[in-house]
Amino acid sequence: MLDTPYFDPALQGFLLGASLIVAIGAQNAFVLRQGLLRQHVLAVTTICFLSDALLISAGVAGLGSLIREAPMLLRVITLGGAVFLAAYGILAFRRMLHPGQLQVGAGAGLPLGRAVATCLGLTFLNPHVYLDTVMLLGGLSSRFAGPLRIAFGVGAATASCLWFYGLGFGARLLAPLFARPLAWRVLDGIIAAVMLALAASLAYEGVTGL
């Protein structure tokens, strides 16, 4: 199996996809939090994976070249993402100050509809998703032709699948730590800082024209 012509592009796609997705960001922070709460984990991780797979497929199919020719669209997405992340960051900051009855596996979590909407917003209102997943992965996949290009995309999507499901369902291993309210305060403080920093960065990029 390893000596097939598909293995090398698939491995390259997997490694590149993993390097892009394994980072502290808005989407990963949300998946981690839902995993710790054990609320809507399957729905959230599946949406993240399928969204990533869709964007990877779009990049491999050549959508990145269209995005390059529509800078105004990317600017609108950037500014919209800044507003969305700022709002979520403020909510996380409020949770840090007033943790309420939040507990692992129970307590005041998001309803399914809001969890899904938040997940979609954190995914598609982040312009870096289009820059990294669609344009970068799509551009690098152009080194391969035909089925080899598809293998590259499958490799990248596999990395996304393993990461999101591993992060969401593996978060429960940290449950003993998050049995203490202080741990939730620290996590929400980190999430708030990440979200607000990303929002400020996106706002700057949007105003200055990326």
99-140 residue pLDDT tens: 654 455 544 568 999 999 999 999 998 887 887 788 888 878
Q: Cβ(17)–Cβ(155) under 8 Å?
A: yes
**Average pLDDT, integer, range 21-26:** 75
- Residue 99 has what pLDDT? 65
On whether the pTM is more than 0.85, the answer is no
Question: Is the distance from CB of 159 to CB of 59 less than 8 angstroms?
Answer: no
pLDDT (0 to 100) of residue 79: 84
Beta strands in the chain (DSSP E): none
Alpha carbon distance, N-terminus to C-terminus of the chain: 43
Query: Which residue bears the tokens 């152009």?
Result: 142
Question: Which pair of tokens denotes residue 74?
Answer: 């990317």
User: For residue 186, what pLDDT band results from cuts at 50, 70 and 90?
Assistant: confident
- Give the count of beta carbons closer than 10 Å to the beta carbon of residue 26: 25
Mean pLDDT of 69-82: 77
Each domain of the chain, given as residue ranges in start order, spans 7-208
CA dihedral 157, 158, 159, 165 (to 10 degrees): 100
Q: Which backbone phi and psi does 25 adopt, to 5 degrees? A: -145, 180
Mean pLDDT to the nearest integer, 2-22: 83
pLDDT at 198 over 60: yes
User: In whole angstroms, what is the distance from residue 126 CA to residue 116 CA?
Assistant: 16
pLDDT score recorded for residue 102: 46
